[in-house]
């Protein structure tokens, strides 16, 4: 049996279903998902282990027209990522007509030498006719390697897409140890889970203004071996005092809810009980400040 290994990445507009599809392929949550556009900020790598292959899926931020230095850096990150993979998935949603943003990305991907598969996501949201129309519309943009309709929610064609991606990988040995699902540092994943919990808590226009850093993550020293506890100290960075008030909520209630949600997610991720200490701090206009962006990991 031929064994293949390599990298695939998902590219598309913000909110094109890339993170949900990444998680569906891997079978567990490694990328944060949210109903807000622009939630992915890092190229998160998830690893699919199969008998015949190891497929490393890279979820990227949405390509968009940048309005800030952060936006420009995220776009650069997407381009760097797809320049170094074996196959690219160009994602568009079934429930949204193709727009200028999709055409812009399609034109960019039409120039690359790497095989590009067009993927129509979220097919569970619309009828067969609309899916068919979207498949036709995306096919007319370029002569893609293949065009595949999928739904991460009900699993429609997720396995088929995995087979297709594996067929495009070069022959080679496994790149990661068996059982490893991501090569992201635990601190990065924990910070992302806190950010996701904040995003779901705020109905206002805050997605871009929130960053999370883990200041410290260390086992509590005075605990017996059979009852470990991990102390996690995290900072939520916003750009203005008014945003800080939104994240805190009345009497700190929203922040407490965020803490409860994030703590459960992080405990599942790390497989150990944690104590989560969350603070909110104002980093004025951090998205436009090169020094602050560097400090926050961009």
CA–CA dist 239, 107 (Å, integer) = 35
Residue 32 sits in the same domain as residue 128: yes
Query: In this structure, are 36 and 107 located in the same domain?
Result: yes
> What's the chain's average pLDDT?
83
- Whether 44 and 192 map to the same domain: the answer is no
Is pLDDT at 2 greater than 50 in this prediction? yes
More confident residue, 141 or 19: 141
Mean pLDDT throughout 177-197?
75
If one counts the domains in the chain, the total is: 2
Q: Are residues 64 and 19 in the same domain?
A: yes
- Do 140 and 269 have their domain in common? no
The answer as to whether 248 is a domain residue is yes
Q: Distance (Å, rounded) from C-alpha 47 to C-alpha 60?
A: 15
Question: Of the spans 19-28, 40-49, 93-102, 181-190, which averages the highest pLDDT?
Answer: 93-102
Per-residue pLDDT band at 181 (split at 50, 70, 90):
low
Q: Is the pLDDT of residue 188 over 60?
A: yes
Alpha helices by DSSP H, listed for 27-127, are 69-83, 100-109
Is 92 found in the same domain as 141?
yes
Q: Output the domain CATH number for residue 288.
A: 3.30.300.20
Say which residues have a Cβ less than 8 Å from residue 272's Cβ, sequence separation at least 6. Answer: 228, 229, 230
End of a domain among 167, 195, 228? 167
Q: Kindly state whether residues 149 and 19 are assigned to the same domain.
A: yes
DSSP secondary structure string for all residues of 119-166? EEE-GGGS-HHHHHHHHHHHHTT---SEEEE-BTTTTBTHHHHHHHHH
Q: Is the pLDDT of residue 36 over 70?
A: no
Question: Per-residue pLDDT tens for 62-80?
Answer: 666 667 777 777 777 777 7
Same domain membership, residue 20 and residue 117: yes
Among 137-141, 191-195, 221-225, the range with the most confident prediction by mean pLDDT is 137-141
Is 181 inside any structural domain? no
pLDDT in tens, 79-138: 777 777 899 999 999 999 999 989 988 988 888 889 999 999 999 999 999 999 999 999
Judge if 32 and 140 occupy the same domain: yes
For range 216-224, the mean pLDDT = 84
3-state secondary structure of 227: coil
186 in Cβ contact with 217 (< 8 Å): yes
Q: Is 123 among the domain residues?
A: yes
Give the pLDDT band of residue 185 (cuts 50, 70, 90): low
pLDDT of residue 31 exceeding 80, the answer is: no
- Domain for residue 180, yes or no? no
How much is the pLDDT for 116?
A: 94
pLDDT band for position 177 (50/70/90)?
Answer: confident
Question: Is 175 part of any domain?
Answer: no
Q: Is residue 222 part of a domain?
A: yes
Q: Tell me the whole-structure pTM to 2 decimals.
A: 0.60
Q: Single out the residue of 105, 74, 75 nearest to residue 89, CA to CA.
A: 105
pLDDT greater at residue 79 or residue 277: 277
Whether 8 is covered by a domain: the verdict is yes
| 151 beta partners | 156
> How confident is the model at residue 32, as a pLDDT?
44
* Residue ending a domain, choose from 135, 167, 199: 167
Same domain assignment for residues 145 and 24: yes
CA distance readout (Å), 74 to 38, 64, 136? 10, 9, 30
Picking from 140, 167, 194, the residue at the C-terminal end of a domain is 167
Q: How far apart are CA 282 and CA 204, in angstroms?
A: 17
Q: Are residues 194 and 153 in the same domain?
A: no
Query: What tokens does 267 get?
Result: 């405990």
Determine the average pLDDT of the residues in 253-260.
91
Interatomic CA distance for residues 136 and 129, integer angstroms: 11
Burial class (CB in 10 A: 0-12, 13-18, 19+), 178: exposed
The answer to whether position 172 is within a domain reads no
In percent, the amount of the chain with pLDDT more than 90 equals 31
CATH of the domain at 30: 3.40.50.300
Mean pLDDT of the region 183-192: 73
Question: Which domain does 248 fall in, by range?
Answer: 186-295
Model confidence at 45: pLDDT above 80: no
Q: What is the pLDDT of residue 157?
A: 93
Element (H, E) at 46: strand 44-49
Read off the pLDDT band of 175 (50, 70, 90).
Answer: confident
Same domain, 106 and 241: no
């Amino acid at each position: 049996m031929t064994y293949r290994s390599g990298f695939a990445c998902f590219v598309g507009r913000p909110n094109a279903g890339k993170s949900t599809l990444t998680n569906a392929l891997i079978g567990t949550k490694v990328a944060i998902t949210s109903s807000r556009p622009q939630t992915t900020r890092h190229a998160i790598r998830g690893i699919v282990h199969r008998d015949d292959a190891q497929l490393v899926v890279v979820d990227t931020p949405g390509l968009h027209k940048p309005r800030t230095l952060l936006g420009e850096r995220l776009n650069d990150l997407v381009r760097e990522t797809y320049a170094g993979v074996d196959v690219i998935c160009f994602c568009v949603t079934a429930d949204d007509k193709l727009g200028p943003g999709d055409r812009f990305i399609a034109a960019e991907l039409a120039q690359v030498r790497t095989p590009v598969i067009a993927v129509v996501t979220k097919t569970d949201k619309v009828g067969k006719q609309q899916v068919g129309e979207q498949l036709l519309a995306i096919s007319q943009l370029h002569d893609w390697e293949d065009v595949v309709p999928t739904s991460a929610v009900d699993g429609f064609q997720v396995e088929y897409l995995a087979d297709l991606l594996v067929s495009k990988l070069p022959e080679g040995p496994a790149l990661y140890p068996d059982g490893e699902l991501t090569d992201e540092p635990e601190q990065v994943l924990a910070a992302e889970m806190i950010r996701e919990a904040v995003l779901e808590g705020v109905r206002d226009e805050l997605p871009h203004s929130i960053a999370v850093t883990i200041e410290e993550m260390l086992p509590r020293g005075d605990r017996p071996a059979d009852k470990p506890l991990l102390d996690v100290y995290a900072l939520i960075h916003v750009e203005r005092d008014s945003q800080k008030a939104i994240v805190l909520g009345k009497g700190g209630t929203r922040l407490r809810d965020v803490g409860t949600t994030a703590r459960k997610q992080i405990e599942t991720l790390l497989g150990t009980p944690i104590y989560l200490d969350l603070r909110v701090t104002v980093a004025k206009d951090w998205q436009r400040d090169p020094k602050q962006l560097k400090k926050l990991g961009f």
